[in-house]
Amino acid sequence: MANVAVVGVQWGDEGKGKIVDWLSERADVVVRFQGGHNAGHTLVVHDIEYKLSLLPSGVVRPDKLSIIGNGVVVDPWALLREIDTMRGKGLELSPKNLRLADNAVLILPSHGQLDRAREERRGSRKIGTTGRGIGPAYEDKVGRRAIRVCDLGDPRTLADRVDDLLLHHNALLRGLEAPEVDRDELLEALREIAPKILPYADQCWRVLDEAKRSGRRILFEGAQAAMLDVDHGTYPYVTSSNTLAGQAAAGSGIAPSAIGYVLGISKAYTTRVGSGPFPTEQENEIGRKLGERGREFGVVTGRPRRCGWFDAVQVRQASRITGVNGIALTKLDVLDGFDEINICIGYKRGGETYDYLPSATAAQAEIEPIYETAEGWQESTRGARSWADLPATAIKYIRRVEELIDAPVAMLSTSPERDDTVLVRDPFAD
């Protein structure tokens, strides 16, 4: 049985939560390996809606072990609020079924202050962050001044870390004409939350190594998506971490060879939240129709998502970079009723054409899509659970998508409900 990494191959919001939840029934351990509480997954289980940000999707299943890996940046107050919210929905969460990597970096209130102050200063050139401090926390991690979960258990180290951090943070806040952080207040807040967080802390690399050696199936859950990757995405309109499948190993503390199958998640159309290039965006009635039918609003931010046609060039590029073995195609039902459906098969800029998304910011902003038109279908695909339930024209669309992205569709999602899924190939069986 293969261990499986699940990653988005567009700009996020592809429906990873449902797919991970569906796969978690077949897994023993579910690991979140990057990002922070700027990510959002919505799961619908027995008519109960769960909105998760930091917690792995496996928490909705009581017999699974969920792990927040070292590649995640963790706001401890947000984590405890989310745990309390999920308990209020009937989930049992404790250190028995939820572990937090003791070497994970913490997000502090000052990270959010810096994030929001810098976005405000950018004015019309905003990157479109959620303002929750994710980027500044990753900066501190790379700058070797971050506070980690394990530091909460060592009062002397914690005080020294706070001093080092605030030397940097308060200088930046002064420069941005924002209120500075009070050292004693921050230390007291961290000391107060430490006994609530530390019971979950563990050497998660060891837990995963033992799980691998004993043959337990591991599911690695990514946040955001490949085109928001800090290296390979639409820079600078990206997140602050690596979002590709390769990060599953580094962000959880397991060897790359332990990941046997990479499942990419893609909508049957395209969406994006916030600023940045979006070649197939439809700022018209088509875009509004996709947004309304797909209920395209950010789980975390509530911001409406920008909507457009499926971009085969972008998905193919993302799939190759992240090593996708198969695709889970979601929200096919949103395309029901369109007479014609456009698919982007290339880009043009001036007299040049591209079969890839260029790296340069100016080129990304100026490229225009080259479309191929596919026949739509009038029948409903919502709730389909087998190929036999799908209109022939919808199947034809799926097959064309497979050809254009050079990857097979392994799963098909036709509604937010867990069981409304067509399984073509079980990733865990590879």
Is residue 41 among the annotated active site residues?
yes
> Quick one: three-class SS letters along the chain?
CCCEEEEECCCCCCCHHHHHHHHHCCCCEEEECCECCCCCEEEEECCEEEEECCCCHHHHCCCCEEEECCCEEECHHHHHHHHHHHHHCCCCCCCCCEEEECCCEECCHHHHHHHHHHHHHHHHHCCCCCCCCHHHHHHHHHCCCCCEHHHHHCHHHHHHHHHHHHHHHHHHHHHCCCCCCCHHHHHHHHHHHHHHHHHHEECHHHHHHHHHHCCCCEEEECCCCHHHCCCCCCCCCCCCCCCCCHHHHHCCCCCHHHCCEEEEEEECCEEECCCCCCCCECCCHHHHHHHHHHCCECCCCCCECEEECEEHHHHHHHHHHHCCCEEEEECHHHHCCCCEEEEEEEEEECCEEECCCCCCHHHHHHCEEEEEEEECCCCCCCCCCCHHHCCHHHHHHHHHHHHHHCCCEEEEECCCECCCEEECCCHHHC
Q: Please confirm, yes or no, whether 13 is among the known catalytic residues.
A: yes
Which of these is catalytic: 13, 75, 102, 229?
A: 13
Active-site residue (options: 21, 37, 41, 232): 41
Q: Which residues are catalytic?
A: 13, 41
